[in-house]
Every structure is written in structure tokens, then in C-alpha cells.
Amino acid sequence: MDRERKKAILLLAIHAGELMMTCGAEIYRVEETITRICKACDVDNVEVFAMPSGIFVTLDNDLSGDSVSTYIRRIHNSETNLNKISRVNQFSREFTTTSMTIEEGMQRLTEIEQEKRYHFSIRVIAAGFIASCFAVIFGGNTIDFLSAFIIGMISYTLSRFLEKYDINFFIRGLCSCALATFLALVVSASVPNASYPFIISGAIMLFVPGVAITNSIRDFLSGDMMAGLTRMVEAFLIAVSLAAGTGLVLKLWALMGGVVL
């Protein structure tokens, strides 16, 4: 296999893995996808080591060590986008079962990468509905539902605003939950029958790292202890930031004379 073709295979495989990693896929799924793509290109000896912060891929055609090619890709940012993960999975299946070329595969991955998310206004409204529904699930009434809807939209907007300026996840979670808690306390103090515990609980659920916790457990069960530990620590820090933002505002509210039950 010539050097240029091997490089093209590496770039295609690692691009697919990077897309999955940045969208919140499990480690074993990323490694499996990269391996499957390489083997479909007649590369029998593939070694993949993936972590939430980076992907390492090595190809060797004959195990002699004379034709080893290694590529490293650093992962900086991540989000949760299950649609892109599903599309990359579908792409890898098509690539391994059809006569799709490497160039066509790279074009498909570029299209998936550039796919636009839902419009920001739709995501804000969806965040409001999520917060309000959780408020009702936790025992809230109609007023809590409406309050959580508005507060959820506001706190989600703040979170996306901070993300735009590359504010780290700990500060984003702390500030968003602090704002949601403050607004919930104001509503509870000024609107009869409004209960701030249900409103706060609904708004906080927007930022709970459910996907990170689930993926860390799945990584542990599949034997990827380092990746599982990394994601578990990340989820723990996010949970601490949510608790810190909420607790800080509750404490300050009580010190200023507000009633906190």
C-alpha cells in the first residue's frame, strides 16, 4: 500500500472517530468505528487508543515495523449530539458494505460535520419545556410549570452565551444554576402558590450530565477504565458546579433576609 493511500485512510478513520468523540459517543464505539473503516480498506493490523481528550491510531500492513503509520488527534471540545453519532454509525456501515471510495467517505463526513443544529430559538423553547415538565414531575403545580418554563429558557440562554466565549463548563454550570435559583426565589416570593424547590429542580435538570454519567458506566463495563474514570470525574465536577451555584444563591438569599425553607 502506497504512503498517500495509507494517509488518506488514516485521515478518514480518525475524522470519523473525532466526530463521534466530540458528539459524546462511548470510547468503545469510537474505537470500533475507526477499526471497521481501516479494515474495510484492507488494513489488517490496526491499533486504536481513544480517550475523551485524544485519539491515537496506528496502521501496519505486514507487522514488520517498516510500514507503520501513526496519527494523533487532540480532542478539545465536546457536546451531546446523538443525531451525528447515529449518522456516523450509519456511514461506517455503508462504507464497509458498499464500494464507497475514501474521497466519497470524506465528503460524507464533512457533510455530517457541517450539519446545522436546530435553530437557537427552538432549542431555547425546548429547554423551557424540559425544565417545566421536570418541575411538574417533582410535584410542582401550574404556576411552577409556567415559572420553570421561563426560567429554564433564561438559564439555558445564559449557558449558551457563556459557551460562546469559551467559558469552562464549571463556571457555566455555576452561573446558570445560580441565575435559575435566584429567579426561582424571586418568583416564589412574589407569586402566590409558587414553590421554588420544584422550579429550581426543573431548571437544574437542564444541566445534569446524564450522558457523561451513562457513558462513563458503559466505558467501565467495556473495560476502558481510564476513559470511564475521566468521564466520571467530569460528571462529578459538573454536579459540584450545579450544587455550588444553587447553594450559594440560597445561602445569600437567606442572609439577606429572604425566607428559605
Query: Tens of pLDDT along 31-50?
Result: 999 999 988 888 878 889 88
Answer whether residue 62 shows pLDDT above 70. no
State the Cα–Cα distance between residues 54 and 129, nearest whole angstrom: 35
All 3 cell numbers of residue 50?
481513544
Contact (CB, 8 A) for 52 and 75? yes
Answer whether residue 261 shows pLDDT above 60. no
| Mean pLDDT estimate for the chain | 87
State the Cα–Cα distance between residues 152 and 177, nearest whole angstrom: 10
State pLDDT tens for residues 99-121.
Answer: 888 899 999 999 998 888 888 99
Instruction: Give the model's confidence band at 259: pLDDT under 50 very low, under 70 low, under 90 confident, else very high.
Output: low
Among 193, 186, 169, which residue's Cα sits nearest to residue 249? 186
Residue 203 to residues 54, 140, 155, 217, Cα–Cα distance (Å): 32, 12, 8, 25
Q: Give the pLDDT confidence score for residue 96 in this predicted structure.
A: 86
Alpha helices of the chain — where are they, by DSSP H? 3-22, 27-40, 82-97, 102-113, 120-137, 142-164, 169-190, 196-204, 210-221, 225-255
Burial readout 28-48 (b: 16 or more C-beta within 10 A, e: otherwise)? bbbbbbbbbbbebbebeebeb
Phi-psi region of 257 (alpha: psi -120 to 50; beta: other; left: phi over 0): left
State the Cα–Cα distance between residues 70 and 74, nearest whole angstrom: 13
Answer whether residue 60 shows pLDDT above 80. no
Instruction: Give the model's confidence band at 254: pLDDT under 50 very low, under 70 low, under 90 confident, else very high.
Output: confident
